[in-house]
Structure 1
Amino acid sequence: MYTDTAACLRAIQAKDARFDGRFFTAVLSTGIYCRPSCPARTPQARNVRFYPTAAAAQLAGFRACKRCVPGATSGSPEWDVRSDVLARAVRLIDDGVVDREGVAGLASRLGYSTRQVQRLLTDGTGAGPLALARARRAQTARTLLEATELSHAEIAFAAGFSSVRSFNATMQEVYATTPRELRNRSTRRRTAADGGLTFIDLELPVRQPFCPCNVFGHLIATSIDGVESFHDGAYHRTLRLPVGHAVVSLRPGHGGVSARIGLSDLGQLPTVVSRVRRLLDLDADPVAIDGFLAEDPVFAPLVAAHPGRRIPRGVDGDEMAFRILLGQQVSTAAARTHGARLVSAVGDQVDSPVAGLTHLFPTAEQILTAGDETFALPQSRRDTIRRTALALAEGDLDLGVGVDRDEARAKLGALKGIGPWTVEMIAMRGLGDPDAFPATDLGLIRAAAELGVDKLEAHSQAWRPWRSYATQHLWAMTPHAVNTIPGHPGCSEEAA
């Protein structure tokens, strides 16, 4: 969008928060870049330039606005929706691949040369992979400065800087202030240590409107004992990370989601935030999605009743695939039982101060070691789970954030025992495909009949590219626990 100057000017004149994260406004007269909704006086059109990413604005010599904090916005929905190589690269960088594996590792995962990846990202985002990763580190450091009582040295290395000197220099360059001054302006610092974890409290921004009932309701109703729990008004779960593990406690709030994150390695904070945002689908553009779906008279009343629906996704594509396989043709309660049995048998145990969190969901390699007694399932289902685990363990199947979704679909469909419904469910919840559609799902068929929709799959073509969101609206027509957050105001009539 940043190339459409007229549209960008209209957005900043209206101070429209819907465009936060989609582009950044740089002001030539001040040398500052802002989010579109910045409350400062709107600059004159001749003095502004627009950039697709914060990293691009930083490379052009602009510093971040101290008033609107442009790095602390929702991410651009573009990188989540698109499935091309550029979007895959951005998702991998957000997940921390460059910090862990360097540009060469990023290129290897994408199947391109480092030079091709550099050119691709520079052309598409205005910044190369190192600059994008640097902007990510700077925002992580700022978050830690404002939200914790950690020393500057601890923050520097946790955020991924190679030295305190480079940390100080970057913060000065990006924010035109010192780490000490950033910290002194904050009054919300709170850090606690418990069970070998360091806990940090954050507010995760969300584009409005945001309907939390079906996304939180689904996660709560399908939670697996040991890995997930719901109590004290919050959804809790463990996360397996590239380094160590984390526990997160999430609850919807006013204008966002409150998150309490406990980390065994502080350097994993940005990866956790990125995965939680994917889990709750926080970077979606609800106005665009709802507006499109509401053009169909079938959806207009559904969207009007519950605007801002999100897709309950997963923190890991492999985990979501196994959960969907375990839940095939059984009730929600039975799927939870199967999952808990598997977790208890082969999942890693963790010490957690959060009640109910005792294990990490097992890896594909660990699932391959599970005996028949672990699976109270038909033999054909056990074989399918083991075939899937073997394909993932040997690298023949990739369900990670940087995967080519079409390729993943084809490889999933080629595995014996995995049919179209399973492929679409994994694509929707594991791969984050906004246009997945399990047309043979009985819940969708019943909802379509109630709405008078004949030939559901054919009719669904009018809902592209947002059929995953259409699915959420249709599912919510059936009264079920997955559509409500227990005790949450506004959810009581969710499925009415």
Structure 2
Amino acid sequence: MSDSRQMWSVSSGMMVAMTPLDHESCYRAVKARDRRFDGVFYTAVRTTGIYCRPSCPARTPAPANVSFHPSAASAQGAGYRACKRCLPDATPGSPDWDVAADVAGRAMRLISDGVVDREGVPGLAAHLGYTPRHLTRLLTAELGAGPLALARARRAQTARVLIETTDLTYADVAFAAGFSSVRQFNDTVREVYATTPSELRGHRSAEGPGAAGTSITMRLAVRTPYAADALLDFLAHHVVPGVEAVGPGWYARTLDLPHGPGTVRLDLAAAQSTTPGETAFVPATFELTDLRDTTAAVERARRLLDADCDPVAVDAHFAGDPVVGPLVRRHPGLRVPGQVDGDEVAVRTVLGQQVSVAGARTVAGRLVAAHGRPVGSAVPGLTHLFPDAATLADVDPEALPMPRARGRALVALAERLADGSIALDRGRDRAAVRDALLALPGIGPWTADYVAMRALGHPDVFLPTDLGVRNALVGLGHDPALVVAAAEEWSPWRSYALLHLWQTLMPPVPAAEPPPARPEET
């Protein structure tokens, strides 16, 4: 079995490349019960017929009795069942997917968003620019399983979490997880977990959250350390009235999902951790119009949280750096805020060109009030979806509350997003997307690269002309010209270096704004 991805381990503060799924290297990680590799590979034990995460607390099997798989679907396809003790599917995804940004990584992001469930393998292949047959060959070579098997493994994971943490009926769980029938759901659960849905529900934690109506509460796994407070500060500083809301320890926002609108509230304070190598959990409460959007909603919330980052590897990379090293020690596990909608990030980035963050928030709020679709929510302050690209493409740029040139750039961008010639769904090649953005009037390298970092999850973006970078470096007593010239040394994690610099400039979190009045109240 081949796998072109690289695994990384940290030894004496140095990040060392390991041979891809090399048996000896993987076995050392399993013997050490190293949690950093949970979700990166899976251990299958021939004598028991089960597969585990590398950190499984069970007795370490003999080297001759184990094989290693790059995905849960690969282990399942080889006839292994998930371990009931370590729950190997309840792990963050592999950080390699964002670093390499190869076809396998981009495919996994789309599969996690439910593209195969909604559009089938042909739809996934179209997003990636391959034929279904060629894509299946590529994924089988890279991940040990084709797209259907990978999607099935994702559905099984979602189903288990819903069974164990909610009061949804089994029929609702089946369709929320993406299964086409209750029978398919039952068969898959029995095959993957060697148990029935009823037995899984009997194993639920006594403190597990429940579900009422279309409200679902789940726990989203993240690797530690996790600087949740810093992530919340960033999100709160950029909050757009009507679309987002914040409070002590939590952040909420509306979601434009494939089958209808929804919302999510993330209790970030619960995940704050400075302990390396563990798994923390962010409680997330979703309000959904259609349960079929569960998979997409969860994946988009995970993107926002940068949940699949390997903070131990990132922080170790900067350990000896005179500029970023002290900042990492101040905020271990700092994340790059992601997105729930790539188009929204791109539009908000254009809105923020050459204006303050406060000014961009004001303009974005006006845009939302004028062109966003109203939604209902139990969270005060969440009143609208962010305007979609098709709506903004039809707006007269002269009527937008911004300089005319920027208005024309925004509408031109919206037109390209609406017709699909630019896609920000993490399924396209990053370099190609950047070139397409730069071809638009009014969009320069700063805008294109910021979009790549936030919308496409690029971990290696640096903005050398950014005023915030200069001010941060001056404030830290460094010569900006010298530091920027040497920034290549921070690769492949320059996006994280950028966030550490910006974090030094973070002002006090703005007070929550009162929710705008609904039309019937005016």
Q: Same fold judged by TM-score > 0.5?
A: yes
Alignment of 1:32-51 (within 5 A): 32-51=50-69
Closer, same or farther in 2 for the Cα pair 1:52/1:112, shift >3 Å?
A: same
Q: Which amino acid aligns with 2:420?
A: G
Contact 2:453–2:459, Cα closer than 8 Å, also in 1: yes
Alignment of 1:92-131 (within 5 A): 92-131=110-149
For residue 360 of structure 1, what is the aligned residue in structure 2? 385
How many residues align? The count is 481
Q: For each residue in 1:451-495, what CA deviation from the matched residue of structure 2 results, as whole angstroms up to 9, or x when unmatched?
A: 23533432111111111001011112224246x999xxxxxxxxx
Contact 1:239–1:360, Cα closer than 8 Å, also in 2: yes
1:395 is displaced (CA, Å) by: 2.0
Q: Which amino acid aligns with 1:330?
A: V
Distance in 2 between the 1:440 and 1:32 partners? 52
For residue 68 of structure 1, what is the aligned residue in structure 2? 86
Contact 2:81–2:191, Cα closer than 8 Å, also in 1: yes
Secondary structure at the residue paired with 1:171? helix
1:157 is displaced (CA, Å) by: 2.3
Query: TM-score, length-normalised on structure 2?
Result: 0.89
Q: For each residue in 1:236-271, what CA deviation from the matched residue of structure 2 results, as whole angstroms up to 9, or x when unmatched?
A: 101101111221111221432111111111121121
1:373 is displaced (CA, Å) by: 7.2
Q: Which amino acid aligns with 2:372?
A: G
For residue 211 of structure 2, what is the aligned residue in structure 1? 191
For residue 440 of structure 2, what is the aligned residue in structure 1? 415
Match of 2:255 among 239, 249, 259: 239
1:142 aligns with 2:160: yes
Match of 1:351 among 376, 380, 388: 376
Contact 1:345–1:370, Cα closer than 8 Å, also in 2: no
1:330 is displaced (CA, Å) by: 1.3
1:375 is displaced (CA, Å) by: 2.4
Closer, same or farther in 2 for the Cα pair 1:314/1:189, shift >3 Å?
A: closer
Distance in 2 between the 1:81 and 1:271 partners? 22
For residue 30 of structure 1, what is the aligned residue in structure 2? 48
Secondary structure at the residue paired with 1:260? strand
Distance in 1 between the 2:245 and 2:470 partners? 31
For residue 426 of structure 2, what is the aligned residue in structure 1? 401
Q: Which amino acid aligns with 2:359?
A: A
For residue 462 of structure 1, what is the aligned residue in structure 2? 489
Closer, same or farther in 2 for the Cα pair 1:189/1:308, shift >3 Å?
A: closer
Distance in 2 between the 1:485 and 1:457 partners? 34
Match of 2:453 among 424, 428, 453: 428
Q: For each residue in 1:293-314, what CA deviation from the matched residue of structure 2 results, as whole angstroms up to 9, or x when unmatched?
A: 2232222212122111100121
Q: Which amino acid aligns with 1:227?
A: V
Deviates more, 1:275-284 or 1:300-309: 300-309
Match of 1:336 among 358, 361, 365: 361
Superposition CA RMSD, Å: 1.7
1:472 aligns with 2:499: yes
Distance in 2 between the 1:395 and 1:168 partners? 37
Secondary structure at the residue paired with 1:454? helix
For residue 98 of structure 2, what is the aligned residue in structure 1? 80
Closer, same or farther in 2 for the Cα pair 1:178/1:218, shift >3 Å?
A: same
Q: For each residue in 1:328-359, what CA deviation from the matched residue of structure 2 results, as whole angstroms up to 9, or x when unmatched?
A: 11122211111111111111111111111111
Secondary structure at the residue paired with 1:206? strand
Contact 1:238–1:359, Cα closer than 8 Å, also in 2: yes
Distance in 2 between the 1:181 and 1:352 partners? 34
Closer, same or farther in 2 for the Cα pair 1:232/1:306, shift >3 Å?
A: closer
1:430 is displaced (CA, Å) by: 1.3
1:367 is displaced (CA, Å) by: 1.0
Contact 1:201–1:258, Cα closer than 8 Å, also in 2: yes
Q: Which amino acid aligns with 1:397?
A: I
Q: Which amino acid aligns with 1:480?
A: P
Distance in 2 between the 1:271 and 1:485 partners? 31
Deviates more, 1:299-308 or 1:235-244: 299-308
Contact 1:213–1:485, Cα closer than 8 Å, also in 2: no
Secondary structure at the residue paired with 1:455? helix
Q: Which amino acid aligns with 1:190?
A: G
For residue 222 of structure 2, what is the aligned residue in structure 1? 206
Contact 1:146–1:189, Cα closer than 8 Å, also in 2: no
Tell me, which stretches of 5 or more residues in structure 2 are unaligned? 1-6, 8-19, 272-279, 513-522
Contact 1:66–1:175, Cα closer than 8 Å, also in 2: yes
Q: For each residue in 1:161-185, what CA deviation from the matched residue of structure 2 results, as whole angstroms up to 9, or x when unmatched?
A: 2222221111111000001100111
Distance in 2 between the 1:158 and 1:296 partners? 46
Contact 1:439–1:457, Cα closer than 8 Å, also in 2: yes
Q: For each residue in 1:339-386, what CA deviation from the matched residue of structure 2 results, as whole angstroms up to 9, or x when unmatched?
A: 111111111111111111111111111112334575221111111101
Contact 2:398–2:404, Cα closer than 8 Å, also in 1: no
Contact 1:99–1:160, Cα closer than 8 Å, also in 2: yes
Q: Percent identity of the aligned residues?
A: 53
Secondary structure at the residue paired with 2:296? helix
1:164 aligns with 2:164: no
Q: For each residue in 1:111-159, what CA deviation from the matched residue of structure 2 results, as whole angstroms up to 9, or x when unmatched?
A: 1111100000000000000000000111111111112212212222222
1:280 aligns with 2:298: no
1:154 aligns with 2:172: yes
Deviates more, 1:473-482 or 1:75-84: 473-482
Distance in 2 between the 1:37 and 1:302 partners? 29
1:15 aligns with 2:33: yes
For residue 439 of structure 1, what is the aligned residue in structure 2? 464
Contact 2:242–2:383, Cα closer than 8 Å, also in 1: yes
1:84 is displaced (CA, Å) by: 1.9
Contact 2:264–2:284, Cα closer than 8 Å, also in 1: yes
Deviates more, 1:276-285 or 1:230-239: 230-239
Distance in 1 between the 2:237 and 2:51 partners? 43
Query: TM-score, length-normalised on structure 1?
Result: 0.94
Contact 1:203–1:257, Cα closer than 8 Å, also in 2: yes
Tell me, which stretches of 5 or more residues in structure 1 are unaligned? 487-496
